[in-house]
Homo-oligomer: A and B are copies of this chain.
Amino acid sequence: MNRDQAEARGVQAYYPKDMAWCYGCGRLNEAGHHFQTNWEGEETVTTYTPCSEHMAIPGFVYGGLIASLLDCHSTGSASLALYRDQGHELGSDAPLPRCVTASLKVDYLKPTPLGVKLIARGKIRDMNNKKVVVESELYAEGILCARGEVVAVSMPENFGK
């Protein structure tokens, strides 16, 4: 876990224990990335500094890591949005919606430099009580490097059954 991740406390800190094992954002998955997503005004934000091995070619971030970051950033954003829509904020006793990804699209606009903090900024583009569309931009040192669009859905009760 990177220091900026350890210090953050996002929606993922509030997922129920049986939903907190995700390799991308689960706080209980020791091997994972521990992405943390929270509101910043009307936007959602996830920051992460990739490890040195997360490269595509030397000096640049692996596209799969960027996809992973935008994936968890978006499902976290969707949880936050549904929760707020229900009248709740993090820390409330009301059960937090947990979302899964129906589709993920990433446009890689520029090579993303390795060794700096990445900032994913999300906007809720559309939502109903089961589905949230999250559009995101990924920045490195203030430069827009990738765009993401994720359709996230509330995890169905029969997930995987």
Contacts and interface: CB of A to CB of B under 8 A. Distances in A.
Interface of A: 18-19, 21-24, 26, 29-32, 51, 53-60, 62-65, 67-69, 71-72, 100-108, 111, 113, 159-160
Contacts of A108: 100-104
Nearest to A72: B64
A107 to B, nearest CB: 5
Nearest to A153: B108
Nearest to A52: B31
B62 A23 contact: yes
A57 B105 contact: no
Given A18-B58, A108-B101, A64 B160 contact: no
A21 B103 contact: no
A100 B146 CA distance: 14
A55 B62 CA distance: 19
Contacts of A69: 64
Contacts of A24: 62-64
Nearest to A33: B64
